[in-house]
Amino acid sequence: MGRHDPALTIAISGRAGLARGLYAGTLLRTPLGWAPIESLCPGELVLTRDRGLCPVVSLTREERPALWAVRIPAGALENGADLLLPPGQPVLVQTDFAMPYTGEAEALVPASSLEGWRGIVPVARATTAPIWQLRLDRSSLIEAGPGVVVGLEGSEEAQADLLTRLLSAPERPVLPLAAARHLVATLIGAATGEGMVQAALARGA
């Protein structure tokens, strides 16, 4: 049984799936600088990549068995420090290889799909780890510490409000796990091929 076996999925907001959210200590950008997610309160502003400053609608803490997390080492995604994310948390990957999947040179993928690329690895967690769920009025992209952009879901009220949904820009979908793994496999293959070329050039120098 692997980590991605359906038996290991857990319920998030009433639906089954890999855990999403951010761990305590994850830094988010505010008008006053970087602040850990757990220090924020509803009504405070955070800086999103796609919609500028937005108020926090809700922030809740969930206690759950931490089956595993995904460790993004410093420098893997231009991040200055290691970052732990729940396996289902959407992460923005910027690459031309995303064009066939999204029509853009970037894609949101589950953090778990990044395992094996640029030193990104799963990390077993033996204790219950709180996961913080931050909601804005609409789905947004936000930095989880300098360099790593993640996707946040909008508040449940906004998702249920038809008028808000009609007036909002189209939401950026998260690639299904299988498609995301295929994209990441392409990235790994491209990096391996580039490394082999560089090694060959070095040997011939």
Number of C-beta neighbours around residue 197 at 10 A:
10
- Decide: helix, strand or coil at residue 34: strand
Bridge-based pairing state of the strands 27-30 and 22-23: unpaired
pLDDT tens per residue, range 87-117: 999 999 999 999 999 999 999 999 999 999 9
Alpha-carbon distance of 66 to 190, in angstroms, equals 33
User: Could you report the per-residue pLDDT of 28-64, keeping only the tens digit for each?
Assistant: 999 999 999 999 999 999 999 999 999 999 999 987 7
Return the higher-pLDDT residue of 162 and 102: 102
pTM score > 0.75 for this model? yes
Q: What CA–CA distance (Å, rounded) separates 85 from 36?
A: 14
Tell me the Ramachandran region of residue 88: left when phi exceeds 0, alpha when psi lies from -120 to 50, beta otherwise: alpha
Q: Decide which of 198 and 122 is more confident.
A: 122
Query: What proportion of the chain, given as a percentage, has pLDDT over 90?
Result: 66
User: Tell me, what DSSP letter sits at residue 153?
Assistant: P
Task: Give the residue among 82, 110, 126 at the shortest CA–CA distance from 12.
Answer: 110
- Closest to 148 measured CA to CA, from 81, 99, 102: 81
Residue 158 has pLDDT above 70, yes or no: no
